[in-house]
Each structure stands twice: as C-alpha cells, then as structure tokens.
A and B are shown apart, each in its own frame.
Chain A
Amino acid sequence: MSRKLSGALALLGFVVLVVPGFFAPEFLPAGDMSLRLAPPSEMPPFGADRSGRPLLAYVMQGSGIVALPSLLAGVLVMGFAILGGLLACTDSKRLSVLIQGLGEVLGALPRLVVVLVVARLVPRDQRSLVPIAVTWALLSAPGAMDEAASVAGRLGGARFVEALRAHGFSKARVFLYHVVFLNLRPVVVRQALEVFAQVVFLEIALSYLTSAAYLDAFTHADSSHSWAEILFLGYQSLPPVGIESIHALALGMGLIGIVLGTSAAAIWAVRAR
C-alpha cells in the first residue's frame, strides 16, 4: 500500500472516530419500544438498543468520551519520545541518569493497577477519561523515550548532530528536521498511535466492566454512554443470554476494528523510507 493511500485511510479513520463526538447529543433520545433491538434495516444506520434508542447516539457519545483524551495521551507520549530522542543526541550524562531513574520507577509500576487507583480517586462530579489518559501516557512515556533514544543512539547521537553542525546547519534545523522529522518520526508517531489505541481500549474495558456490574462508569458522566455499552449489549446475543442484539456486537467489533485499522494505516503512512 502506498503512503498516500494509507495516509488517506488513516485520516478517514480519524474523522470517523473523532468528528462524531463533537456532534454527540448530551442525552440519548427517547426510545421507541416498538423498535426494541431493531436491526440496522429497521433503524438505520446501526439499529436500536433494548429501549428502542438508536445505537448511532451511543456511537457519537462514545466518540465524544474517547476522542480528545486519547489524542491528548498520544500527543503527550509523542512529546516525551521526542524529548528522549533529543536528549540522546545531547550526550548529557546527568540528564540521562535522571531519566533512567525516573523511567525505572514509572516502568516498574503495573499500569492498570495505577489507572484503577487514579480512576477511583477522581471525584465523582469530575469523572472524565482525561486523568486516566494522562496517567497512562505518563506510564507509557519511559518506554517511548527509551525506544526513541535507542534510535537516536543508532543514528550516532551527539556525533550525528556534530557532523551536521559542521556542514553549517543550524541547531534548530538539525534537531527538528534531521533528528526528529527524518529519523525519529516513525518511532514517535507509532508510539503515539499505540497509546491512542490503548487509551480507547482502556476506556472500553473499564466502562464494560462497570456496565457489566450495572454501576456508574469511571470515565464519563452518567448521561453519556460509552462504546463499551454497545459491546455489552452485543455480547448478550451470545449464550447463555442469547437476545437478538448481534447487530450491536458487529457494531462494537467494527468500532474496535476502525481504531486498530486507523492506527495501522497511520503507522504505515509515516514509516521510514
């Protein structure tokens, strides 16, 4: 697949995932019980839930829950990875010692355990995915910085910068263009996209578990509904419950597929030449 095609697919995927969130209704529309669990043919485009409410509203609200926090997490990790790569090019031993120490501490924490603790400690009226996404990004940062630093190290580190400076390039050009854009780009973008997808899946997992326990979610207000609820409804189409909600299962899996496909297409588009 060409870079342009994969880039276009990635862009399309992001539009499909992120844009609906901005137009999401604050509350789900009133249900029509005559359309209970209606398939997409009876209630286009995605069908209805147990109360006859359109699954489209769930998709839009779910998008609103995950879009900005997961993008924020991705951008944070990208920033940390760039920092790690640039530090490897400065040959600063004290800084790298400090970063190794911090990396060891953060890297040794079981991520999901920390996330659960953070989720529980966020006051009920301030529930949002943002603190969880930021925590996840911080815990992912050491790995991203390590990888970016090793790429910069393979490049030659400080010697690479020195050589380009000897050619008369400005520091800004060497660091931003040669190091970050030409060499670190594939790694930092991949790291950011991985974290983006991880945060989306984390939200789905946490909301699924709370939905399954019929409890309030950690990641959003009670008026909003996560994609996890679509998946939960769809999962009940399987034994032993076996209700007619296979369309919800297909939609939930489809949303997960779009997240994975978008990340894969974007990673392919920015791969090294």
Chain B
Amino acid sequence: MTRWWYRPLVRFLVALALPIGVPALIACMIWAMPGDPASVICAPEVCTNSYDALSARWHLDAGPMNYYSHWISSALDIGACGVEEHNHVGGVGDLGKSWTYMPSEQVLTLLGDSIFNTLKLVGLASLILLLGAVRAASGNLSHLTQKLFRLLGAVPALVLALAGAAFIAVTFGSETAGSEANTVRLLVAAFVLALADASLSGTVDAVEQVVSAEKQQRYVEMGVLRGESVLSNMLPNIMPSLAGQFRARILNLISSAVVIEVILSVEGVGDLLWNATLDQDFGLVLGSTFIFVLLSSFLLFIQAIVEIVTALVVRKSPKGVVV
C-alpha cells in the first residue's frame, strides 16, 4: 500500500517544478522555430547596424539556455526586489519585456491589471461551481436543473460566449465600455465560464456521486446512530477527492478563460496571451504562461495541503479510544 504522504509529496514537487520547467520548455521551442528569435523583434535587414547589439541586449544571442537562465533568474526574484526595480531596463525582479505587442514595455506592468481581472473572473466562476457543489451535496438540486446544466455544458464555450457578447451588445448598444456594462460583462463571462465545457454540470454530478456513494457506507450509518452528523463523518474521507476535483475544475476555468476573455472583451491575462500569440510576442507569451503556471502550482499546493491536513485529522481521530 502506498504511504499517505506520497501523493501530496508528488504534488508539492510538481508544483515546484512547473514554474521552472515550463518556461524552459517554451524557450527551447522558440529556438526550435526556423529563423533567429531576435529577428521577431527587429528584422536583420531593418536593424542592419544594431542587430547584434539588440540580440545581446535581449539575451537572444547565445541560445535558449542563456536566454532562459537570465529570464528565470529575473522572474524568481520578483518578491525580493519589489516593484521599483521593474522599471529598470535589464534589472532583476521582472518577467522581461514585451517583444512586439508593446515593444520594450515591462511584461509585469502589462500583466498588472490583467491578473486582477482574470482572478475576478475565475473567482466568480469558481463561486458558482462551489454553490452548485454545495446544493448537490445537500441534495437540494432537482433533476431538471441538473439536466439543464448538462445541456448547457454540452454547448461549446465559444457559442455561449458569443451569445453573451450578443446579449451585452443588445442591452448596452453603443455604451458597452461603461462601468455598468463592464460589471455585467464580467458577470456574464463568469456564468459562461462556469457553464461551458460541462464545468458546472461535471462538478455537480461528481460531487453528488461522491457524496451519495459515501453516504451508503456503514460507518456513516453508525455515526448517525451515535448521534453524530453525517457531514462530520463523511468530510474527512471525501475531502481529498473533492479537493482534486475542484483543482481540475478551476484549472479548466483558467484555461477556458482565454477564449471567453477575448470574445467578451474582458481585459485579462487570457486576452493578453491571445494578443501576444497573434503578435508573436514571445516575451509576453512567456510571462503570461508563467502566470498561468503559477496559478496552477498554487492550486496543486492547496490540494496537497488539504490532503495532508485530512490525513492528519483522520490519523488523530477518534479521540479517547483506549487500546
């Protein structure tokens, strides 16, 4: 039998490795493309005299590992160096500079407000999933509602987002940039994000399945006979499974946010990544991806902590038993 700490340990290690490994992979892939990466910033025939200096200044002159080592050492110094240093050209504590989308602008500055918008969007959508999960766990969700969730969940995110965008256009007409329109846009985006790709229906179905299967267990019935609540008996056993499911769902929300932000004009990290992708701005692509990976690592940490706490609680209980 596998030791209880094995899975959380693997999650911790993966959470640590991802922010370091994914940018390395992207850096290698940039160099695997035909042509010199520096030519994306300025074509050699345009920057005839300054091309080599430009390559050296952007650390693009000595292969992917040189570029990556500079990039990652700057990126991992964010916390230590503070915001002031972001504005120093070539200084540490930043995610580099935009290559083409907004040339020479600090990626961290560009990501600033976008991160906040994406977190608001994903947070609201997660809240909808959480409410659905609580209703499903307490058995307060009718079959009709669940069928409706499944039906809407089958519709691709793009179609739901287009319907949302049409609703905003019809409701606000030419004033779609106003603050009220922005609030409604965020709410519509959150609902679309929660409903699309079977996020809500999947969460509701999975939670209901886990809870109803656990309720059938004999120990729960014994607990009820002892006068204890069903939830306090069940929770330690279903918590790791629920934590795993929620992590996967939130990760899915983060991923789907890209399409929804672009269609519904929410200025988040997904929207920024999309623009960076279109403009071949690998500096911004690297920075945005790093943020997404950090969010994913954070979720892995949370899941590992939930698993550890649950395991410790289970091992400590029941109290007062004399062997």
**With a CB–CB cut-off of 8 A, which chain B residues contact A238?**
166, 169-170
Q: Which of B21, B33, B157, B292 makes the CB contact (< 8 A) with A110?
A: B292
Which of chain B's residues 247-281 have a Cβ closer than 8 Å to chain A? 248, 251-252, 254-256, 258-259, 262-263, 270, 273-274, 277-278, 280
A contact residues around B252 at 8 Å (CB): 111
Q: Does B159 interact with chain A (Cβ within 8 Å)?
A: yes
Query: What is the distance, in angstroms, from A36's C-beta to the closest C-beta of chain B?
Result: 23
Interface size of B by Cβ–Cβ distance < 8 Å? 55
Q: How far is the CA of A205 from the CA of B155 in the complex (A)?
A: 12
- In A193-213, the 8 Å CB interface with B consists of 201, 204-205, 208-210, 213
Q: Are B285 and A117 in contact (CB under 8 A)?
A: yes
Contact with A along B155-190 (1 / 0, CB 8 A): 111110010001001100110000000000000000
Q: Is the CB of A109 within 8 A of B26?
A: no
- Residue-wise, chain A 115-136 has the 8 Å CB interface mask toward B (1 for contact) of 0111111010000000000000
Contact A108 B300 (CB under 8 A): yes
- Within B5-59, the residues touching A (CB, 8 Å) are 7, 10-11, 14-15, 17-18, 21-22, 26, 29-30, 32-34
How many A residues touch B, CB cutoff 8 Å? 37
- For B282, the closest partner residue in chain A by CB is A120
Knowing A100-B10, A108-B18, A209-B262 are in contact, say whether A113-B169 is a contact too (CB < 8 A). Answer: no
A214 vs B216: C-alpha distance when bound (angstroms): 56
Answer whether residue A256 sits at the interface, using C-beta atoms and an 8 A cutoff.
yes
Q: Which DSSP category, helix, strand, loop or mixed, fits chain A's interface?
A: helix
| CB of B296 closer than 8 Å to a CB of A | yes
Say whether A215 contacts B278, CB under 8 Å: yes
Q: Which among A113, A118, A119, A256 has the greatest number of chain B C-beta atoms within 10 A?
A: A113
Contacts of A117 on B, CB cut-off 8 Å? Answer: 26, 29, 277, 285, 289
Contact of B156 among A93, A107, A256 (CB under 8 A): A256
A143 CA / B17 CA spacing, docked (Å):
20
Which residues on the A side are within 8 Å of B29 (C-beta)? 117-118, 121
Residues of A within 8 A of B18 (CB): 105, 108-109
Question: Could you tell me if A108 and B251 are in contact, using CB atoms closer than 8 angstroms?
Answer: yes
Query: Does the CB pair B157–A205 fall under 8 Å?
Result: yes
Of the candidates A105, A204, A239, the one whose C-beta lies within 8 Å of that of B17 is A105
What's the dominant secondary structure at chain B's contact region? Answer: helix
User: Inside 8 A of A119's CB, which chain B residues have their CB?
Assistant: 277
Of the candidates A105, A107, A109, A112, the one whose C-beta lies within 8 Å of that of B256 is A112
A42 within 8 A of B: no
- Chain A residues lying within 8 Å of B255, measured Cβ to Cβ, are 110-113
Query: B148 at interface (Cβ–Cβ under 8 A)?
Result: no
Task: Say yes or no for B154: interface residue by CB 8 A criterion.
Answer: yes
Selected from B26, B173, B297, the residue in CB contact (under 8 A) with A108 is B297
A17 to chain B minimum Cβ distance, whole angstroms, is: 15
With A113-B258, A213-B278 in contact, is A104–B162 under 8 Å at CB?
no
A160 within 8 A of B: no
Counting CB contacts under 8 A, is A240 at the interface? Answer: yes
Whether B156 contacts A204 by the Cβ 8 Å rule is yes
Report the Cα distance A231→B165, complex, angstroms: 14
Set B169, B251, B280, B285: member contacting A240, Cβ < 8 A: B169
Residues of B within 8 A of A235 (CB): 162, 166
Residues on the B chain within 8 Å of A215, using CB: 278
Is B204 in contact with chain A by the CB < 8 A criterion?
no
Instruction: Determine if B259 and A205 form an interchain contact, defined as CB atoms under 8 angstroms apart.
Output: yes
Bound-state CA distance A213–B169 (Å) is 18
Cβ of A107 and Cβ of B22 under 8 Å apart? no
Chain B residues, CB < 8 A from A120: 277, 280, 282, 285
Residues of B whose CB lies within 8 Å of any CB of A are: 2, 7, 10-11, 14-15, 17-18, 21-22, 26, 29-30, 32-34, 154-159, 162, 166, 169-170, 173-174, 248, 251-252, 254-256, 258-259, 262-263, 270, 273-274, 277-278, 280, 282, 285, 288-289, 292-293, 295-297, 299-300
Besides the contacts A110-B296, A121-B29, what 14 more A-B pairs have beta carbons closer than 8 Å? Answer: A104-B10, A107-B251, A110-B254, A110-B295, A112-B270, A113-B254, A116-B273, A116-B285, A120-B285, A205-B158, A235-B162, A238-B166, A239-B170, A256-B155
Residues of A within 8 A of B (CB): 93, 100-101, 104-105, 107-113, 116-121, 123, 143, 201, 204-205, 208-210, 213, 215, 231, 235, 238-240, 253, 256, 260, 264
Q: Closest 8 interchain pairs by CB?
A: A110-B255, A201-B156, A112-B255, A205-B158, A104-B14, A110-B292, A120-B277, A113-B292
* Pairs A–B under 8 Å by Cβ, sample size 9: A93-B2, A104-B10, A110-B293, A113-B289, A209-B262, A209-B263, A215-B278, A256-B155, A256-B156
